Chains A and B, each alone.
Chain A
Amino acid sequence: MVMVYILSILSFLCIIRLVLGPTYFDRLIALNLLVVIITAIMAIMAVEYRRHVYLDVALVYAVLGFVSVIAIAKYLTGKELHR
């Protein structure tokens, strides 16, 4: 349970960078890091409480979490999105 608190503090630091960040690179990388940290918190809590239903949420978010980052990064390259 100590790891959950440590990762919570790290996620708070990510949220500070997400709110304050001057450029969009800061915000995009902070968002990607926040997805990874919260997925790790979900997996640790699944092990802690011994309920493997919790792992499904972490699995779904790990599969779908990068789609938004890929879409925003592809928009920021300046090309069309649908090709």
Chain B
Amino acid sequence: MNEIFLIILVLAAVVAIEMKDLIHATIMLAAFSLVLVFIFFTLQALDVAIAEAAIGAGVSTVLFVVAISKTRRHE
């Protein structure tokens, strides 16, 4: 099951890079962070998973959305 989530991680990263709409790229980046949290969880790196959950879901996505709202949305 872990290898399938690793494939999904690469897929989410490639889709987040290739998106032209930056809000869609931010949503895919949040999904990337979520899958990465689950991979850290299954590898039993629990404190790394907690730090990634706090940074990836709480700080990083909100920071990107604020940056997009102050600039333009389409690339």
Contact = CB atoms under 8 A, between A and B. Distances in A.
B34 A35 contact: yes
A81 B69 CA distance: 7
B62 A67 contact: yes
A72 B66 CA distance: 9
A46 B55 CA distance: 22
Contact of B27 (A18, A41, A53): A18
Interface residues of B, number: 31
Majority SS at the chain B contact face: helix
Interface residues of A, number: 33
Contacts of A5: 1
Given A15-B8, A15-B31, A38-B34, A57 B65 contact: no
Interface of A: 5, 8, 12, 15, 18-19, 24, 27-28, 31, 34-35, 38, 41-42, 45, 53-54, 56-57, 60-61, 64-65, 67-68, 71-72, 75-76, 80-82
6 contacts: A18-B12, A18-B28, A24-B21, A31-B27, A31-B30, A54-B46
Interface of B: 1, 4, 8, 11-12, 15, 21, 23-24, 26-28, 30-31, 34, 37-38, 41, 46, 49-50, 53-54, 57-58, 61-62, 65-66, 68-69
